[in-house]
Amino acid sequence: MRRWSFPRYVDWVQSRGTRILTGVMIALVGIFFAISPPIPFSSLAAFIAIFSMGIGLLNKDGVYIVFGYVCAFVYFILVVILLKFLSPTQLLESAAKLFSSEH
């Protein structure tokens, strides 16, 4: 990662507020990951968000952190939309219909 990531916006990245905000964002992505419905490839945005924020913190790269924030917001919107249209009860009913012997 050293080829693409290098210290940019170091003063902003090293500030205490930015590190706390990034930690809170990583925790929120984890919580949203836990409540998201099991749709294939829907967790890819969560992975990219956490990975890029982690790389940004490790290499003091503000561009990666901002990219991680953008991916996190996209993931939040995706999870809210999926939960709106695919509630857990609908998922259980669909699974019950799939595995029931009566069609």
- pLDDT in tens for each of the 103 residues of the chain? 777 777 888 888 889 999 999 999 999 999 999 988 877 888 899 999 999 999 999 998 899 999 999 999 999 999 988 888 777 677 777 777 878 766 5
What pTM, to 2 d.p., does this model score?
0.78
Would residue 25 count as lying in a domain? yes
Q: Given this model, what pLDDT does residue 82 score?
A: 84
Would residue 3 count as lying in a domain? no
3 state DSSP class of 8: strand
Would residue 30 count as lying in a domain? yes
Q: Given this model, what pLDDT does residue 76 score?
A: 95
Going 54 to 52 to 55 to 53, the CA torsion angle's sign is negative
Would residue 2 count as lying in a domain? no
Would residue 65 count as lying in a domain? yes
> Rounded to whole angstroms, how far apart are CA atoms 81 and 90?
14
Would residue 5 count as lying in a domain? no
Structural domain span for residue 45: 10-99
Domain count, the chain: 1
Would residue 28 count as lying in a domain? yes
> Rounded to whole angstroms, how far apart are CA atoms 9 and 49?
19
DSSP category for residue 37? -
